[in-house]
Chains A and B, each alone.
Chain A
């Protein structure tokens, strides 16, 4: 959302006829330019973008910085290819155009597409870079085409001279099956220095990233974009819901922490057997990693007691550090979901003694042979049974405990 005025320097030299970037270098470049203009104007409505060509008869400004996307796209039509690119002059004219921008509050940025050999000396480029830095102009370089006459070196030197606090970037795009635009989408040139960029750029980025780097949800977004989108959206929704649930649980935990001590083991059991299998898996993964992965697993594991699970996931994170705190948290979770139907399920499971002791064994910091734990276990069993089946199971359970 940075307020920015951008000048895009297009290379329309003879080298752009080459077909190593599909369909031709020039076309790939034009697509990339269109995308960048869109992203810039979307991320902040007051952003302006201008375009100039560096080759042909000479450096020519096609459109001065404007926020009118239509005007920018229109000027890209009917461009002719020819001549040699004059990088230094192009950058200097871009700097001049930015200097005369209407809104002086905008940050200045130049984006250069360098698709043909650079004939200038490294020193000259460094001088230009220094001048840009002095006037606080940021520079993004898109290096594509062949690397001859030390082009990459020269461009890197230029970037080093300009770069102030990582506001300037260089991207090297090798020829290949990937379109120039796709490669650019995931770079900071698009995403704007790690702010996250606009929704436009972000959604395009995930689509491209899914296609290029191996399929976030196991579905190729190129083959089935709707499914990929649906998966991503549901993931985000679930995440948001879990965060809300976690916040609620955290609030309750802070209220009830003190009174939880005696019934710790009880509550631990209740919490755990409700999400027992999921919990074990999570512990295997290790609580400190990747909360989102755990949440996804929880969801896939145990749908009915889902909200229960989510709260337990947050609990299991804490459990690694402080077992008592975890128990207290689970107590509060239990209290909050007392009315849920899953309570009945839990009680049934509780009735199974062997199941319960196996759970207890897997808990960190709880020793099933600890007498206090056994005591609590007994009282807990009595409680749960009285809720469900008043007298029948009480006696046999009591006998087992003894």
Chain B
């Protein structure tokens, strides 16, 4: 049931937020230089199973994604392999320049523990109310499915809607008088 719900929700009014990512500000801490964030985020790269985002010194990853517009985040898809894919994913809305040291100082906007289904592509529906006014998103991948040294992420996709488009429609209605 919930799977059907989320699927239809995605079809209805949620779009892939790939177009609204501000690529100049995207950062990823502890990524391996050969397997970088683009492999997981960018169109085409993320569909390729051979191209992964990999962690470097240990299994944690801290991804910072700013957006060009204010958006509402509905759900995310995090795909990876069964052993080395991410498990605990914490999301922070509108927190800039976090580091690994202060990542546990704030409560996350939402936490997702990825099941094997999720890791294969099933979207995780988030607490929508927490993500109504998102300028930037920080994704903290705390550990992976099998607690191995390296975390490998094949795909990260964000689904939601933009805030500004809604506002424009609202303006038009007023002008009709």
Contact = CB atoms under 8 A, between A and B. Distances in A.
Interface of A: 99, 104, 130-131, 133-136, 164-165
Nearest to A96: B101
Contact of A136 (B29, B58, B60, B101): B29
22 contacts: A99-B99, A99-B101, A104-B96, A104-B97, A130-B57, A130-B58, A131-B57, A133-B30, A133-B56, A133-B57, A134-B56, A134-B57, A134-B58, A134-B60, A134-B100, A135-B30, A135-B100, A136-B29, A136-B30, A164-B33, A164-B56, A165-B33
Interface in B24-82: 29-30, 33, 56-58, 60
Contacts of B101: 99, 135
Contacts of A131: 57
B129 to A, nearest CB: 29
Contacts of B29: 134-136
The 10 closest A-B pairs by CB, nearest first: A134-B57, A134-B30, A130-B57, A104-B97, A133-B57, A165-B33, A135-B99, A136-B29, A134-B100, A99-B99
B175 to A, nearest CB: 41
Contacts of A136: 29-30
Interface string B87-99: 0000000001101
Contacts of B33: 164-165
Contacts of B100: 134-135
B53 to A, nearest CB: 15
Given A104-B97, A130-B57, A133-B30, 13 more contacts: A104-B96, A133-B57, A134-B29, A134-B30, A134-B56, A134-B57, A134-B58, A134-B100, A136-B29, A136-B30, A164-B33, A164-B56, A165-B33
Contacts of A165: 33
Contacts of B30: 133-136
Of A99, A104, A134, chain B has the most CB atoms within 10 Å of the CB of A134
Contacts of A104: 96-97
A186 B61 CA distance: 36
Nearest to A133: B57
Contacts of B97: 104
Contacts of A130: 57-58
A134 B140 CA distance: 13
A165 B56 CA distance: 12
A98 to B, nearest CB: 10
A265 B56 CA distance: 63
Contacts of B56: 133-134, 164
A286 to B, nearest CB: 39
Nearest to B33: A165
A135 B100 CA distance: 7
A104 B29 CA distance: 14
B85 to A, nearest CB: 20
Contacts of B99: 99, 135
A131 B29 CA distance: 11
A164 B32 CA distance: 9
A94 to B, nearest CB: 14
A30 B145 CA distance: 51
Nearest to A166: B33
Contacts of A135: 29-30, 99-101
A136 to B, nearest CB: 6
Nearest to B60: A134
A104 B136 CA distance: 15
B97 to A, nearest CB: 5
B28 to A, nearest CB: 9
B87 to A, nearest CB: 19
A18 to B, nearest CB: 36
Nearest to A105: B25
A99 B33 CA distance: 21
A258 B28 CA distance: 55
A139 to B, nearest CB: 13
B144 to A, nearest CB: 15
B105 to A, nearest CB: 13
Nearest to A99: B99
B58 to A, nearest CB: 7
A193 to B, nearest CB: 14
A195 B52 CA distance: 30
A99 B98 CA distance: 10
A220 to B, nearest CB: 43
Which of A99, A131, A136 has the largest count of B CB atoms less than 10 A from its CB?
A136
A131 B57 CA distance: 8
A366 to B, nearest CB: 52
B99 to A, nearest CB: 6
Nearest to A101: B97
A131 B101 CA distance: 10
A104 B95 CA distance: 13
Nearest to A164: B33
B104 to A, nearest CB: 15
Nearest to B32: A164
Contacts of A99: 99, 101
Contacts of A164: 33, 56
A134 B101 CA distance: 11
Task: Give the one of A99, A104, A135 with max B CB within 10 A.
Answer: A135
Nearest to A130: B57
